[in-house]
Amino acid sequence: MIPYGRQDIQQADIDAVLEVLQSDFLTQGPMVPRFEQAVAEKVGARHALAVNSATSALHIACLALGLGEGDWLWTTPITFVASANCGRYCGAQVDFVDIDPRTYNLSPEALEAKLERAEVEGRLPKVVVAVHLCGQPCDMQAIHALGQRYGFRIIEDASHAIGGKYQNEYIGSGRYSDVTVFSFHPVKIITTAEGGMALTNDNDLASRMNLLRSHGVTRDPTLMTCVPDGPWYYQQVDLGFNYRMTELQAALGLSQLERLDSYVARRHELSQYYSELLKDLPLTLPWQHPDGYSGLHLYVIRIVGDEKKHKAVFESLREQGVGVNLHYIPVHTQPYYMNMGFSAGDFPEAEAYYADAISLPMFPTMTEKQQEKVVKALCVALEGL
Ligand SMILES: *Cc1c(COP(=O)(O)O)cnc(C)c1O
């Protein structure tokens, strides 16, 4: 089976992890700050906070932005459930904005229309989570302008997008958002096994997220409510969590980071080759907005036809050893969210996408030969209908 995604672990990665295993610190040592600084410098952000997953990063970002009960978080239905769940963790209500039919990202036009209605109804969002699906950046300038007008804060869920660019700047620079989140799960662009990071240019947000990822406990006297009792003293000033990244993970991440640009470049080569091989088939191929340079985490095709055809093609590809996938089932149609009052039909573009999208295998060590095998299998699947 050709998987849809796969990590690339090289000897340098193994050496880096082994070195940490034999060192004094397995956690809370020098590697995490080193990894944070390297990512912050790479993408041009002031602060980076490494945590144990992107989900944790989304959670502490929402808390740091003051999201809580009585507030609304809005995001796209075409994302992993974590982009919405982070709002629920904070006790906030979640709502969705339909997608743009070309980029499959949250549509700024749909967002603007929904904001106009929400203003009248007095239920404007406090936080909007913009997800860069497949690595393609959202129209951040438009979303930011709406944020200024309607007073919401912005989190970029860039779980697919490290190494990508928007308007010639690395995603994570935070020009148009408050916090950017990366995921280092093995299928993503670079990996730390499990792991994530929150980036921001705001000193207060960084300080809050730093506390929240480690129990709300500080050893920094300037954050304490009184003078320390002595050199042993620490203080819990907030309710936080244990969301820390280990030294082993950070060492792996640092080692992987050196290959970030080459990974993304390789994904672009693979994507171009797919597009060349597939151009005459009855498919909708990925469309790239000229403002962005995608991280290309995913290569999504859409089957022209009906839902039955989509399912048949998907099944045939799996049977032929091609590990296709579907990113994602619209979040509002998950039973957990349906129980909150959402129903099928609420977000038509997202549901149309779900009815015909397929993610083809793509990962940096994939060969052209494997791509040709995928395309051959796809031809067989389409002809068998
Ligand atoms: C993978 C992913 C997440 C969650 O990342 P973890 O590191 O596994 O917690 C969140 N959002 C999106 C869009 C993702 O693809």
pLDDT in tens, 61-97: 999 999 999 999 999 999 999 999 999 999 999 999 9
- Candidates 75, 80, 162, 171: which one to mutate for ligand 1, based on the most atoms within 8 Å of Cβ? 80
Nearest ligand 1 atom to alpha carbon 131: 13
Average of per-residue pLDDT values in the chain:
97
User: According to the model, what pLDDT value does residue 77 have?
Assistant: 98
Residue nearest (by alpha carbon) to ligand 1 atom 10: 82
CA of 187, closest atom in ligand 1? 1
Does residue 105 contact residue 130 with C-beta atoms inside 8 Å? yes
Q: Is 183 in the pocket of ligand 1 (CB under 6 A)?
A: yes
Q: What is the pLDDT of residue 306?
A: 83
Whether residue 53 has its Cβ less than 6 Å from ligand 1: yes
Catalytic residues: 188
Where exactly are the structural domains of the chain?
Answer: 11-257, 260-383
Residue 88: the pLDDT is 98
Mean pLDDT of 364-383: 97
Confidence of residue 111 (pLDDT cuts 50, 70, 90): very high
- Cα 55 to averaged position of ligand 1 atoms, centre (Å): 6
Question: 55 in ligand 1 pocket by Cβ < 6 Å?
Answer: yes
Gap from CA of 303 to ligand 1 centroid (Å): 25
pLDDT in tens, 25-37: 999 999 999 999 9
Residue 196 CA: which ligand 1 atom is closest?
7
| Burial class for 226, CB neighbours closer than 10 Å (0-12, 13-18, 19+) | exposed
Residue 183 CA: nearest ligand 1 atom is 7
Taking only the tens place, the pLDDT of each residue in 181-200 is: 999 999 999 999 999 999 99
Which residue minimizes the CA distance to atom 2 of ligand 1?
159
pLDDT confidence bin for 99, thresholds 50/70/90: very high
* pLDDT confidence bin for 23, thresholds 50/70/90: very high
Q: What is the pTM of this model?
A: 0.98
Kindly indicate the confidence band of residue 58, based on its pLDDT and cuts at 50, 70 and 90: very high
What is 260-383's CATH superfamily? Aspartate Aminotransferase, domain 1 (3.90.1150.10)
User: Which of 159, 171, 184, 192 is the best mutation target for the ligand 1 pocket, counting ligand atoms within 8 Å of the beta carbon and taking the most?
Assistant: 159
Residue 314 CB–ligand 1 contact under 6 Å: no
Domain 11-257 architecture: 3-Layer(aba) Sandwich (3.40)
